[in-house]
Amino acid sequence: MKRLEKKHSLAIRWFHWVNFPVLFVMVWSGILIYWANDVYRIGIGSWTLFKFFPPAFYEKFSLAFRLADGMAWHFVFAWIFGINGLLYVLYLLFSGEWRQLFPRRETLREAVQVVLHDLRIRKTPLPRAKFNGAQRIAYTGVILMGFGSLLTGLAIYKPVQTAGILPFLSLSLWGATGYEISRFVHFWLTIGFCGFFLIHVAQVAKAGWNNFRAMITGYEIVPAETESPVESPAATRV
Amino acid sequence: MNPETDPEITPVEAEAPVFQAVADEKNDGEIEAQMRRMSRRSFLWALAASAGTVGGLKWIGSRRADDGIPWPLRRVLDVNGDIARDLFSTARLAPTFPASKAREPRVNGDIGMGEDFDPASWNLNVSGLHSGEDLRLSLAEIKKLPRVEATTELKCIEGWSVIVTWAGAQLADFMAKYPPATQSGNAPDVQKKPDDLVPYVGAQTPDGAYFVGLDREAALHPQTLLCYEMNGKPLTLAHGAPLRLVTPVKYGIKYLKRLGSLEFTARRPEDYWAQRGYDWYSGH
């Protein structure tokens, strides 16, 4: 016997899907900006494993010579990114849904089990929960990353006006100024978002249609005898 | 005996699971149907929202260009500039560094820096003053103002930055000595009533090929200099001798080299890079 279970509230679904194209525009316009001074790489000393980005990459997606374009889109969509993210966090806090998302004491142990399970080392099934330990860490982490992008972005955008309230602007590490550090962190957070996106999409594909559909409709079909992992009254039979 | 024809008879215990399974199947069918209805509705929403998003982005991208970028983006950049201007404080200073950290900045941009220039016959043309008279000032006149030195970070709009020691006269001191026109027409008071001064300053190279606009607050910022020395030496021609703008509260594009004229004005001056898609304000 099956039943429908409410999984994601309407607000969460909107925040999630608004963020998708906005983050895409932010990353795309960010690359247009980055192109004008593309100094980051993975490597040691004079040895470079990978340069961000190879000329063919810019060429293929017409990302070169578009600094002004990039800045314009970036500083318009940053508003939507920031406001949507802020509303999302406020919603999490006031609705109590943060309880299912933020890490708990047992989260790290759980997350290790999830990783072992995904790597096929652990054979037994995972306990049923809206978000497992690995998801709690990943989703809370990506909120912190978003916050980091917002702060380092603001630091790069208005380095003089915000120097008094963003202490990392006064840092100096290995000859780099706080402004340069902000730009460095801003870049790597963006690479982090892209990594998150790839793993996220792979995991969603693996979890299957029922799970994905829940991010559109809000509901998931579950076996009737399973206990609802969600302690909200909305998680009743429909 | 048939339970359907004889209501007196109830199904025996042993038969119950069969009926339960039929009921479950019927219920599961209902659940699936309900899910399909909800999915149809939600996915239509999703389709409309996706189409709206793609259409909206394409609409923005295809609008008439206003100084090099689609006008909706230009409008928001201008609003961003207005908000930044309202929140700006001349009391907030750009971080300063020990002079030992200063480096030679790269020569980036030669617009307005043509060969046919004689620094010996150079003068600074100043207009838009309260006196109503235009001025032609020599470098010696500028150097009569107090010399101010600061080691700050030059931030290029391309993304790189470099620490440089600049020395020269504060533009604020210059404006106190040669006061700009006021909006009210009353006598200017640069220190006490800066808001009454005309809101903009335009700067140009002698040939007019490169030009920038500054808002009044940026012009009055204590780190904004009419600069004649870089890293302890007189400016070289490549770096804008005899006089250049140094504006640590703006991107490097506003650090105009080879300053030929200053105009205090009520109208927002044209700006070379703002005409080519960049933010007019470009402030930090």
The closest CB to that of A217, out of B38, B57, B155, belongs to: B38
Q: What is the DSSP string of chain A?
A: -EEEEE-S-HHHHHHHHHHHHHHHHHHHHHHHHHGGG---EEEETTEEEEES--HHHHHHTT-TT-HHHHHHHHHHHHHHHHHHHHHHHHHHHHHSTHHHHS--TTHHHHHHHHHHHHTT---SPPPP-SS-HHHHHHHHHHHHHHHHHHHHHHHHHSTTTTTTT-GGGG-EETTEEHHHHHHHHHHHHHHHHHHHHHHHHHHHHHH-HHHHHHHHHSEEEEETTSPPS--STT-S--
How much is the pLDDT for A234? Answer: 41
pLDDT per residue as tens digits for the range B234-270 = 999 999 999 999 999 999 999 999 999 999 999 999 9
How much is the pLDDT for B16? Answer: 54
Q: What residue spans define the domains of chain A?
A: 97-207
pLDDT per residue as tens digits for the range A36-76 = 999 999 999 899 999 999 999 999 999 999 999 999 999 99
Nearest to B273 by CA among B79, B69, B49: B69
Q: Is the pLDDT of residue A231 over 50?
A: no
- Minimal-distance CA residue of chain A relative to B279: A72
Q: Which among A5, A28, A31, A160 is the top mutation candidate for probing chain B, defined by the most B β-carbons within 10 Å of its own β-carbon? A: A160
How much is the pLDDT for A104? Answer: 87
- Cβ contact A238–B46 (<8 Å): no
A interface with B, Cβ–Cβ below 8 Å: 1-4, 17, 21, 25, 33-34, 36-37, 39, 67-69, 71-73, 75-76, 79, 158-161, 163-164, 169-170, 177-180, 183, 213, 216-219, 221, 238
Q: How far is B92 from chain A (nearest CA, A)?
A: 6
The closest CB to that of B95, out of A17, A37, A170, belongs to: A170
Beta-carbon contacts of A227 under 8 Å, excluding residues fewer than 6 positions away, are A128
Q: What is the mean pLDDT of residues B177-185?
A: 96
pLDDT per residue as tens digits for the range A180-228 = 999 999 999 999 999 999 999 999 999 899 889 999 999 998 887 766 5
pLDDT per residue as tens digits for the range A16-43 = 999 999 999 999 999 999 999 999 999 9
